[in-house]
């Protein structure tokens, strides 16, 4: 049973199953236990040989709509989890959806703002500036003449996302139970992270707060503009901000034609990201070229704050030490920091990871910073992480992906652009602050507080453990990593041995019994009994043969 009795959930499950089947993934649906929902079409796939498996995965996500597209976009930022060909395909996912009728949008705006449209806006364009799967943007003018952009969440999106997230959580549990993914991946936690990210994108109040925080971080940089949020007209489903009119940053020819200094523009965009990461630990994590507009005065306006990344103080500290270790070409220190970040979950993986990291460092040893692309370096690190089945913290993976995407944009503006040169002063300043006496004093004070708290808590904890030992309630459980697999194999061997003994007993025992025992009517019973026993023995032998073949093939 799916555990989801409602008609809507069953219908959605059937749509998921049908989409998988259409693209030749009926076996996946079968392993997830979805065969009851659409058994007739489970293997009636129309997968085209000209398309790769990765391309079919992208098409499935596109067919399934908002939640699936967002899932693919987020997974495209996780090269530590997916092979490069899948990442490349998922990066093609865009919210190419038709706009919702203007009357439905206006109805939402009036309901959210508590009155007719003309009480807030002097003008409101019915044609959208942009349309995506979650919302669409309309140009408008406030009563005081301010030009604004109104972002409106589409009707029914919240309900559809809630349904899909419930189904996705269920599918994750099924995948874990059936061991569909390697054990090193915490699939259910990944789904929880995705659900949190998507719910945050649905909440325009949260997006407005992200914009305010980035504006505060970048307040001293006159080259960057973050549009102001009009909070008196903003709700969870409607976001009103200053309208920005400019040229998308990726239109290099148009920028050059109006006299924009492209090298200076690339530097300003790079320094913006460095400030966010190294000074604030809070960064804009959707560096799609459409989210940056170059204004007529040369400033860059930043748009779309639904996806942001955040590095807490400890993660920033560790990331900085990792960065220093990379600069110093110290493979051992790099692995130490990876272990501290929780990337290395198994001590046995340490030597292999250290060896591969050393090979990556050798590739770039002695090169000047302008002789290699930071994107290539990050890709090599991701390859090591994926080859060993490791999993990066979500925000760190998002940061690396953001840096990689951003460097591509910077080099598009200026082919000679060097990200390492821009990053160097920010890294030096952050390192100086990390090792400054004030920072050490703060860490020592925190450590002292933790020690005092532990000292007050530890005696009671020890006393409780001692009491449980005295009462015989204390148990120690040991689990060998490979013991379960060994026991399963041993169980299979015992089963096959038992079946072989029964088959042998039937084959040898039937003639012996027939030679010494002749009950009434034996002439009629003997052939049925004898041939029935032989057939049963042969069936056991055939089953043993198939079990042996599965064993030989790793089944």
Separation CA 120–CA 140 (nearest Å): 10
- Give pLDDT, residue 2: 44
Are the C-beta atoms of 204 and 238 separated by less than 8 Å?
Answer: yes
- Give pLDDT, residue 128: 93
Helix (H) or strand (E) holding 227: none
Catalytic: 144?
no
Helix, strand or coil, per DSSP, at residue 292 = strand
Separation CA 555–CA 550 (nearest Å): 5
Separation CA 246–CA 340 (nearest Å): 44
Residues counted in the chain: 555
pTM: 0.71
The one catalytic residue among 286, 336, 356, 380: 286
Separation CA 202–CA 418 (nearest Å): 36
- Give pLDDT, residue 456: 66
Domain coordinates of the chain in residue numbers? Answer: 7-96+160-196, 258-293+308-435, 485-552
Nearest CA-CA partner of 64 in 160, 190, 148, 130: 160
Q: Which residues contact 387 (CB under 8 A, 6 or more apart)?
A: 356
Tens of pLDDT along the chain (555 residues) come to 444 447 788 888 888 888 888 877 777 777 777 666 555 454 445 555 556 888 888 888 888 888 888 888 878 777 767 788 888 888 887 666 778 999 999 999 999 999 999 999 999 999 999 888 889 999 999 999 999 999 999 999 998 899 889 888 888 887 777 766 655 567 777 788 888 888 888 999 999 999 999 999 999 999 999 999 999 999 999 999 999 999 999 899 999 999 999 999 999 999 999 999 989 999 999 888 889 999 999 999 999 998 898 988 888 888 788 777 776 778 888 888 888 777 776 666 778 888 888 888 887 776 665 666 666 777 787 778 777 777 777 788 888 888 888 888 998 999 888 888 888 888 888 878 776 676 556 656 666 666 666 666 667 667 777 777 766 666 666 555 455 555 566 666 666 666 666 666 656 665 666 555 566 665 666 666 666 666 776 676 666 665 555 544 444
Helix, strand or coil, per DSSP, at residue 239 = strand
Are the C-beta atoms of 325 and 317 separated by less than 8 Å?
Answer: no
Place of tokens 């395909």: 89
Separation CA 308–CA 282 (nearest Å): 7
Helix (H) or strand (E) holding 278: none
């Amino acid at each position: 049973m799916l555990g989801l009795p409602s008609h809507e959930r069953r219908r959605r499950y059937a749509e998921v199953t049908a989409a998988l089947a259409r693209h030749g993934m009926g076996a996946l649906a079968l392993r997830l236990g979805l065969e009851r929902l659409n058994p007739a079409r489970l293997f009636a796939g129309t997968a085209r040989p000209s398309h790769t498996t990765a391309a079919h995965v992208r098409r499935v996500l596109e067919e399934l709509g908002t939640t699936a597209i967002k899932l693919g976009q987020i997974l495209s930022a996780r090269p530590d989890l997916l092979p490069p060909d899948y990442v490349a395909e998922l990066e093609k996912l865009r919210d190419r959806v038709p706009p919702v009728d203007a009357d439905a949008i206006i109805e939402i705006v009036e309901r959210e703002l508590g009155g007719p449209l003309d009480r807030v806006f002097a003008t409101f364009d019915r044609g959208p500036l942009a349309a995506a799967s979650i919302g669409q943007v309309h140009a408008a003018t406030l009563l005081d003449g301010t030009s604004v952009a109104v972002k409106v969440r589409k009707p029914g999106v919240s309900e559809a996302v809630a349904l899909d997230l419930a189904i996705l959580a269920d599918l994750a549990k099924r995948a874990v139970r059936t061991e569909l993914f390697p054990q090193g991946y915490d699939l259910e936690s990944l789904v929880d992270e995705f659900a949190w990210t998507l719910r945050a994108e649905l909440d325009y109040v949260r997006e407005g707060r992200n914009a305010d925080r980035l504006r505060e971080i970048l307040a001293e940089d006159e080259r960057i503009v973050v549009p102001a949020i009009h909070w008196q007209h903003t709700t969870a489903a409607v976001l009103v901000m200053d309208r920005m009119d400019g040229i998308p940053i990726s239109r290099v020819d148009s920028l050059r034609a109006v006299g924009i200094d492209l090298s200076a523009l690339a530097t300003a965009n790079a320094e913006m990201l460095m400030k966010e990461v190294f000074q604030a630990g809070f960064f804009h994590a959707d560096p799609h070229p459409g989210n940056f507009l170059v204004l007529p005065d040369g400033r860059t306006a930043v748009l779309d704050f639904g996806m942001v990344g955040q590095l807490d103080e400890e993660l920033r500290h560790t990331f900085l030490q990792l960065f220093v270790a990379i600069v110093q070409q110290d493979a051992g220190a790099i692995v130490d920091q990876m272990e501290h970040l929780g990337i290395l979950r198994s001590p046995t993986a340490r030597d292999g990871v250290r060896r591969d990291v050393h090979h990556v460092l050798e590739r770039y040893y002695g090169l000047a910073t302008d002789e290699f692309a930071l994107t290539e370096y990050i890709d090599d690190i991701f390859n090591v992480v994926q080859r060993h089945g490791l999993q990066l913290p979500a925000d760190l993976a998002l940061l690396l992906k953001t840096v990689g995407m951003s460097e591509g944009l910077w080099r598009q503006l200026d082919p000679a652009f060097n990200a390492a040169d821009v990053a160097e002063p920010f890294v030096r300043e952050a390192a100086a602050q990390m090792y400054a006496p004030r920072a050490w004093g703060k860490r020592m004070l925190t450590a002292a507080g933790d020690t005092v708290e532990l000292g007050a808590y530890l005696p009671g904890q020890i006393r409780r453990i001692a009491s449980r030992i005295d009462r015989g309630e204390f148990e120690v459980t040991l689990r060998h990593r490979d013991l379960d697999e060994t026991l399963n194999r041993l169980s299979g061997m015992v089963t096959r041995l038992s079946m072989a003994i029964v088959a042998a007993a039937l084959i040898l025992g039937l003639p012996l019994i027939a030679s010494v025992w002749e009950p009434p009517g034996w002439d009629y019973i003997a052939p049925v009994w004898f041939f029935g026993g032989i057939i049963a023995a042969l069936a056991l032998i055939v089953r043993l043969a198939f079990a042996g073949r599965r064993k030989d093939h790793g089944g």
